[in-house]
Chain A
Amino acid sequence: QPVLTQSSSASASLGSSVKLTCTLSSGHSSYIIAWHQQQPGKAPRYLMKLEGSGSYNKGSGVPDRFSGSSSGADRYLTISNLQSEDEADYYCETWDSNTQVFGGGTKLTVL
């Protein structure tokens, strides 16, 4: 089954941009993933679905500041013009016909 690897933490300054990475395991580089945001004390929120081509489809109400891109087995979430409310945990997720898998999550700190 696929495995997703994320850095445990990241930080960036208010108003700047940050790029979070989710890496698919060997043999699964073509998989579609989803990105989710989890603010402190809240349920996860779906951000977007991201294909290996780099094409992405955002959820309802997700700001334009959030975008996705891909390179090989890596899937990226870029947040531009960072706001304080972007401080959260970010999880990637993938799936196939038998399973769903989450990455370990990246804790984003907005400085």
Chain B
Amino acid sequence: AQRVTQPEKLLSVFKGAPVELKCNYSYSGSPELFWYVQYSRQRLQLLLRHISRESIKGFTADLNKGETSFHLKKPFAQEEDSAMYYCALGSSGSRLTFGEGTQLTVNP
């Protein structure tokens, strides 16, 4: 069975500091991984998908199959990055399994 683990429920950093949100997964097949973000009072929206290998809003995430991880990183956090971040694993039929989420707070 697939599983996604986000070990930190809360993460607080200062503006300009680097930030890393951890995500580990377990899946027997070939994983498709995503990061979703939910800003206050807004709907869930896609931030990154691993197959695109893109940088969105300064965030990047690299799939490490050896460590079964897909950590989200940004070198210089901004206050507007404060939000709830969910790591998700896509499996057959595009079903998504979500992690518990990490609430990121960027302090001024």
Interaction A to B: no
Binding site for A on B (CB under 8 A): none
